[in-house]
Chain A
Amino acid sequence: MKPALADRLSRAVVGCYPRRWKQRYAAELLDVLDQHHAGPRTVLSLVGGALSTHLDPDYRMQIRLSRDGRRVVAIIAATVVGLPTLVILPMVPRAIRESRWEPSSSDSVGAIAFSRDQRIMVSATSGPPWEATSTRRCRSA
């Protein structure tokens, strides 16, 4: 890493410290950087310092959202959680119904056969042959 790049990165990282910390120490820290030959270790130490300061309870990042901001977050959360739910929920009753399907006398079953993987295959008299299948597996004899 070139010294000029390390110096620019170091100064950029100082801007990533919590605001209250910067108000107190940023000017001093920048003064030290003016006199210090910045290198990769300088950048790493500042990144580590910024992260640990954000995790420090005294300087922890304070996110204050406006009313509009809270509304946007609520819409995003509802989309992320709600959309998949709206797609999956209507499929549940059908999946339960199909898993419990048994042919009865009222069904127009033309023929029943077993596939190689022991699934029951049903051909309805009114539909195309071997279209309907059940997910139920047969017990092995």
Chain B
Amino acid sequence: MHGKFDGLGRFADPSLLILTSLSDGPKHGYAIMTDIAAFSGVGMEPGTLYGALSRLERRGWIRPLAAGERRRPYEITAAGQEVLAEQLRSMQQIVRVGYQRTATA
């Protein structure tokens, strides 16, 4: 199954978590980290977060909003929402097949 996430390689997971976090509204760096920890239990470190943020911004999947002092919020773009939806559909398919196979095993 190939999609727009292919180019991200090992960064697919942080990117997916960040896009999911931003899908309910703009957030700045630390708010993204705490939100991800709350909904997924993943303790994302600042180095990983900002590596993924810069890649997502370059791909046009998130955009920075006006910065307040040192905090700059980010919001998901239409392209980012499309990529996130595609990735979630792909994961949903994997989950469905996984459940089916474990149920019949």
B54 an interface residue at 8 Å Cβ cutoff?
A: yes
Total count of chain A residues near the partner, CB < 8 A:
26
Smallest distance from the beta carbon of A83 to chain B beta carbons, Å? Answer: 43
The number of residues on chain B lying at the interface, defined by a beta carbon within 8 Å of a beta carbon of chain A, is 20
In contact, A58 and B58 (Cβ under 8 angstroms):
yes
When C-beta atoms are compared, the residue in chain A nearest to B54 turns out to be A25
Q: Tell me the bound Cα distance from A13 to B51 in angstroms.
A: 14
Beta-carbon contact of A32 and B47 below 8 Å: no
The minimal Cβ–Cβ distance linking A9 to chain B, given in whole angstroms, is: 12
Asked if A36 CB lies within 8 Å of chain B CBs, one says: yes
A49 proximity list for chain B (CB < 8 A)? 47-48, 50-51
In the complex, are the beta carbons of B46 and A25 less than 8 A apart? no
Give the nearest-CB partner of B53 in chain A.
A25
Cα-based distance from A52 to B30 in the complex (angstroms): 22
In Å, the complex CA distance between A32 and B51 comes to 14
Residue of A21, A25, A32, A58 near B33 (CB, 8 A) is A32
Which residues of B are interface residues toward A (Cβ below 8 A)? 28-30, 33, 43, 45-51, 53-54, 58, 67, 69-72
Can you name 14 A-B residue pairings with CB atoms under 8 Å?
A25-B53, A28-B71, A30-B70, A31-B28, A31-B71, A32-B30, A35-B30, A36-B30, A36-B33, A36-B46, A41-B45, A42-B47, A53-B51, A53-B54
